[in-house]
Amino acid sequence: MSAPVHRLSVADYSVGYPGRHVVSGLSLPLVRGGALTALVGPNAAGKTTLLRGLAGLIRSQGSIEVDGRELHGLSASAYARHVTYMPQALPQRVALSVYEAVLSALHATPPEGTSKADLRRRAFETLERLGIGDLALAPLDRLSGGQRQLASLAQAIARQPSVLLLDEPTSALDLRYQLKVMSVVRDLARERGMVTIFVLHDIALAARWCERVIVLSNGRVAADGTPAEAITPAMFAEVYGVEARVERCSHGHVQIMVDGLL
């Protein structure tokens, strides 16, 4: 039996900090689970603020619905069962092993009907799936930056939320692990029908792996569509102030050539 496809809707949504609106009145056409969505845009566009708002970590106004259910008003623990956020900042240098860190994330919002043995199994399976089973017993404070990023991703995906929000999850990873992470998360999104939004600075990676690309600029949606619709020379000029060509290679993938600053 295939998993239900989760849905996220965001309407008239505003989020920011005391005395500072970063995103005002933003609406997103339905984000469907089962495939990857990229959130791209220049520095300070509001990507992290939007994701942290959607994750219920900072105060926001407007509507955020998951599977038709409004999340505003839910308790923090009920909210966290629907939405999981992987922050840009890597895990604290705490005295836990990678396995214990994943297990503690699972214990924070234990899925209904799962035993402690199920949670332990799920923690190990997640590490194996990401190709870091050999790091299970390694202390977090002895990992490299990339290894800590993988441990943080393992904490997020082990929780099996309806909506997974990942803030630059590949920024510290080498080429092989970038591809590994994109393919594991894409497969999980398909298997679980999970809504999955990645903040990415690497637009080529977004174009290659994501079905939908949302471009945020100054807290507004500047483009939203398939990679071919959203990633265009006009978007690069308007949003990033750079001259770029967008072509397709023989495999049909979008290729980006940045020629310089405008």
Interface residues toward ligand ATP, by CB under 6 A: 17, 20, 22, 41, 43-49
For the bound state, the minimum distance from the C-beta of residue 189 to ligand ATP, rounded and expressed in Å, comes to 22
Which residues have a Cβ under 8 Å from the Cβ of 136 and sit 6 or more positions away?
A: 97, 98, 99, 124, 127
The minimum distance between CB 111 and ligand ATP, in angstroms, equals 30
- Give 3-state DSSP helix, strand, coil % of the chain, rounded to 5: 35, 30, 30
Q: Which C-beta is closer to ligand ATP: that of 20 or that of 251?
A: 20
- Name the residue nearer to ligand ATP (CB basis): 45 or 55: 45
**Rounded CA separation 159/125 (Å):** 12
DSSP bridge pairs for 32 = 7
CB of 39 to ligand ATP, least distance (A): 9
Minimal distance, residue 153 CB to ligand ATP, in Å: 17
Residue 20 Cβ, how far from ligand ATP at the closest point, in Å? Answer: 5
Pick from 206, 119, 205, 210: nearest CA to 159: 119
Is residue 262 helix, strand or coil?
A: coil
167 vs 181 by CB, closer to ligand ATP: 167
Q: Closest CB to ligand ATP among 22 and 254? A: 22
Would you say 188 or 204 has its CB closer to ligand ATP? 204
Least distance (Å) from ligand ATP to the CB of residue 125? 31
Nearer residue to ligand ATP within complex by CB, 20 or 176: 20
Burial of 30 per CB tally in 10 Å (0-12, 13-18, 19+) = exposed
Spell out the residues 6+ positions from residue 144 whose beta carbon is closer than 8 angstroms to its own: none
Burial of 101 (0-12, 13-18, 19+ CB in 10 A): buried
Smallest gap from residue 44 Cβ to ligand ATP (A): 4
For residue 220, the minimal CB distance to ligand ATP (Å) is: 12
Q: Work out whether strand 242-248 and strand 254-261 pair parallel, antiparallel, or are unpaired.
A: antiparallel
- Of the pair 33, 41, the CB lying nearest ligand ATP is at 41
107 phi, psi to nearest 5 deg: -70, -25
CB 213 within 8 A of CB 226: yes
For the residues of 207-258, what is the DSSP string, one character each?
HHH-SEEEEEETTEEEEEESHHHHS-HHHIIIII-EEEEEEE-TTS-EEEEE
| Residue among 33 and 56 whose Cβ is closer to ligand ATP | 56
